[in-house]
Amino acid sequence: MKIEIKNVSKKFKKNYVLTNINLKLSDGNIYGLSGRNGSGKSVLLKIICGLYSPTEGEVLFDGQNYKKSNMFVPNLRALIEKPTFFPNLSGYENLKLLAEIQNKITDKEILKALEIVNLLNEKDKKYAEYSLGMKQKLGIAQVIMENPHVLILDEPFNGIEDESVKKITKYLKDKQKEGKIIIISSHIKEDLQNMASKIYYFDNGKIKYE
């Protein structure tokens, strides 16, 4: 798969938060988006996912503009900003509910995703009782459980202990070798330098350098 971000700009009211972004993303790569909070990274990720429409420009997946067709991109999963789940359901129950939307996976894949993020022991605890790190882990688990081709993770390691970060990083590198496209944003350069094929540095809505 090839993802083309062509001349993408985005403004809210009169202010541009992204200006003329051009990127080409291809299979078998981990792409890092770095920059301080508020530099436009999350907005770009939302545009790639189809959650926002660009003010100018377009995003193409193998030449197709899904947003223009009012469709979500198939085989793409994302964690953007703070994950939100049903507070009175357990971590496992929340993932089970999401998995039933497409019925592509069984309990085995759900439990495997929880194991990868080191959340298996807390799978029956209610989401309302989860710590920040546990909530982040559940958000990552919902991204990976259906084995999508495109994985998008926005500041994924907030509040997660080093052991789990290493385990998730290894998983993502393995998926890179399988030919997946992985896009990760972080304001912590070290998180990206440990795994990214390319890192794009954002400042005031523009790519300053690669």
**Parallel, antiparallel or unpaired: strands 198-203 and 29-34:** parallel
CA distance 88 to 74: 29
In order along the chain (210 residues), what is the average pLDDT of each group of 10 residues? 97 94 97 90 96 96 91 93 93 98 96 98 97 97 98 95 95 97 90 91 90
DSSP character for 160? -
| SS3 (DSSP) at 197 | coil
What pLDDT was estimated at residue 83? 85
What pLDDT was estimated at residue 194? 86
CA distance 32 to 191: 9
What's the gap between Cα 15 and its chain centre? 25
Task: Provide the β-strand partners of residue 206.
Answer: 203
What pLDDT was estimated at residue 114? 98
What's this model's pTM, rounded to 2 decimal places? Answer: 0.95
Gyration radius of the chain's alpha carbons: 17
